[in-house]
Structure 1
Amino acid sequence: MNMRERVWLVGAGRMGLSYAKVLTTLGTPFIVIGRGDASARAFKQETGVECRPGGVAAALKAADAPSSAIVAIDIPELEAVAEQLMHANCRHILLEKPGGTDEATLARISAMALETGTDIRVAYNRRFYESVRQARAGLQEDGGAVSMTFSFTESADAIVKIGYPQEVLDNWLLANSTHVIDTAFHLAGEPREWTPRVYGSLSWHPSAARFQGGGMTRDGVMFSYSADWDAPGGWAVEIASRTRRFILKPMERLAVQQRGSFAMEFPESADATDGHKPGLLRMTRAFLTGEDAADLPDIHDHLSRTRAIYGPMAGKPPAA
């Protein structure tokens, strides 16, 4: 089997390790493309899988581009690698979330994908959590959702210590909080009429510290949200039908409250992750086979959401 017939896994870091485990479980032939010699050796030691150092540019000099690639690298590098692969005729790309640093970056990637005819999907794996799938199925059984509230409070002290580039911190809602925001509107439908508000500032995120808003989705679901990045808290989604409330807090575990009861039920999970990162196995299978691919957003939909939802929610003006 030549290099084009194998999936290229670009990235030998934490997410690259997770994808390598999934691809091995799925029995999908793949080649790992790393950047430095040290990370390539560490990847081989951790997984037993060879990792080719030198980055995508060196790999493309040595061989034709693959038909499909999974790009799991740091956020500021996503655009350049996606462009290299598209220029080299790779037409099926799974790009790690959030796909790019900001709206302008996503717009350039989207435009090139249209120009080259490339199908780029953005890896929002929480859509594929068993807890989220169970909540979605329950809502459908009940005739749909009627109301939702969610929170995307971030752990500011921990974030600052990690040492992210300022361009990523400036766009932290897109970079990280969209994990929960995307899941919420995946369940309730996208906003139709709503009002976002931001307040305060932080040293590492001067544009806002607190976020609050609400409105109605296109599916007729009343929603509200709040987040305070200068206080304790976390992520949560609560979405209700007329008969049940589905609570994702933490998002990996579903709790259900029946009408007329204060008790919480915890449905058994049918998700056999076998040690994989939750949702990643099912999401990767969707990318490779097309099964449940409708749940995997493409770059154009993601750009539209960034312009219509994530930017306003973050208090950011539209990109020029």
Structure 2
Amino acid sequence: MKKWKIAIVGAGYMAGEHAKAFASLPDVSIVGVCGRTRERAEALAAQYAVPAFATIDAMYTATKADAVVVAVNELSMSEVYPSCFRYPWVCFVEKPIGLDLTQAEAILDSSRRLGARTFVSLNRRSYAASRQAQDELAHDEGPRLISVLDQQDLASARASGQPEPVLTNYMFANSIHLIDYFCAFGRGKIEFVAVSEPWRQDQPGFVVATIRFSSGDCGVYQAVWNGPGPWSVTITNRSVRVELRPLEKLGIQRRGERQLTEVALDSRDKDFKPGLRYQAEQLVRLLTTGQTELTSIDEAVRSTALCAEIYGLRSAKS
């Protein structure tokens, strides 16, 4: 059996979770770790008995890895991602794509210029619950109503150690998880975004927007900043209503029924950080067959652009 060589850039929590998912696959070998903090990089590398490298260049030269998984903080993305794009490995990078839309578009441009094969770990698309919801909805081609409830607490984020530039752009760093559901489940192009309750940087509160797709699908986004509320997503068509609350849990209500039927969690989303094992499988599928369900960098920037329009930070590009 061929062993696909996977390199890791980053040595924090998410890098470790990705490494765990990839290492569980029989046709994968972790071959190296490169991290900003030498001690943490060596600790992660030691778990897989592989070298820790001081630079991305040195790691590629030594390993000739087939793919690189990049999980670094938001302030490092604009430097680290293009450094990875220069090599012929598949690049699988953590979201968000940059600190804001301008940075995301610059990273996308770099990926295109360098001919990189770049995919983004928008792992909530890869939840078993999200994939099963797509299957349920696919039986009815009629219009969909996509309702997303977001909640963010800047005081809590600050207390957790998030730097001020990230907090200023926290809709890109964290709300992107929720806003991406519109692009995942909404079909066609985004025709317009109507904001009825705008974002106020000086006084974060409620944000409400409606998104219209060329397919006839409609999205409603509600965010509560610095107040209580769960993350939840519901998608409804004429035949079925699916609810993700919490996001890794699926409930289904079919027409004529009055109650949600809960769907059992996939074991992969119990044994690993939800979505990551499936993403690892899809990266191996890409290396093996050229086919994958991973999210492209173009699609990830599309969600970033929608986030920017909802929050009045730049016009969306569909």
Indicate whether 1:316 and 2:313 are aligned.
yes
1:103/1:284 Cα in 2 relative to 1: closer, same or farther (>3 Å)? same
Counterpart residue number, 2:252: 256
Counterpart residue number, 1:96: 94
Check whether the contact 1:198–1:208 (CA below 8 A) recurs between aligned residues: no
Counterpart residue number, 2:137: 139
Where does structure 2 lack aligned partners over 5 or more consecutive residues?
Answer: none
Indicate whether 1:13 and 2:9 are aligned.
no
Check whether the contact 2:34–2:53 (CA below 8 A) recurs between aligned residues: yes
Check whether the contact 2:127–2:269 (CA below 8 A) recurs between aligned residues: no
Counterpart residue number, 2:76: 77
Indicate whether 1:56 and 2:56 are aligned.
yes
1:293/1:186 Cα in 2 relative to 1: closer, same or farther (>3 Å)? farther
What is the count of residue pairs matched by the alignment?
309
**Cα deviation, residue 77, structure 1:** 1.0
3-state DSSP class of the match of 2:262? coil
Check whether the contact 2:199–2:207 (CA below 8 A) recurs between aligned residues: no
1:208/1:59 Cα in 2 relative to 1: closer, same or farther (>3 Å)? same
**Corresponding letter in the other structure for 1:173:** M
Counterpart residue number, 1:160: 158
Counterpart residue number, 1:29: 29
State the Cα RMSD in Å: 2.6
1:65/1:313 Cα in 2 relative to 1: closer, same or farther (>3 Å)? farther
**Cα deviation, residue 208, structure 1:** 4.4
Check whether the contact 1:207–1:315 (CA below 8 A) recurs between aligned residues: no
1:207/1:116 Cα in 2 relative to 1: closer, same or farther (>3 Å)? farther
**Cα deviation, residue 72, structure 1:** 0.8
Distance 1:44 1:52 in 2: 6
**Corresponding letter in the other structure for 1:72:** A
1:269/1:129 Cα in 2 relative to 1: closer, same or farther (>3 Å)? same
**TM-score of the pair, normalised by structure 2:** 0.87
Counterpart residue number, 1:231: 227
**TM-score of the pair, normalised by structure 1:** 0.86
1:134/1:84 Cα in 2 relative to 1: closer, same or farther (>3 Å)? same
Counterpart residue number, 1:192: 191
Counterpart residue number, 2:44: 43
**Cα deviation, residue 159, structure 1:** 1.0
**Cα deviation, residue 144, structure 1:** 4.5
Name the % identity.
24
Check whether the contact 1:153–1:233 (CA below 8 A) recurs between aligned residues: yes
Indicate whether 1:247 and 2:246 are aligned.
no
Check whether the contact 1:40–1:51 (CA below 8 A) recurs between aligned residues: no
Distance 1:105 1:79 in 2: 7
Distance 2:137 2:203 in 1: 36
Counterpart residue number, 1:276: 272
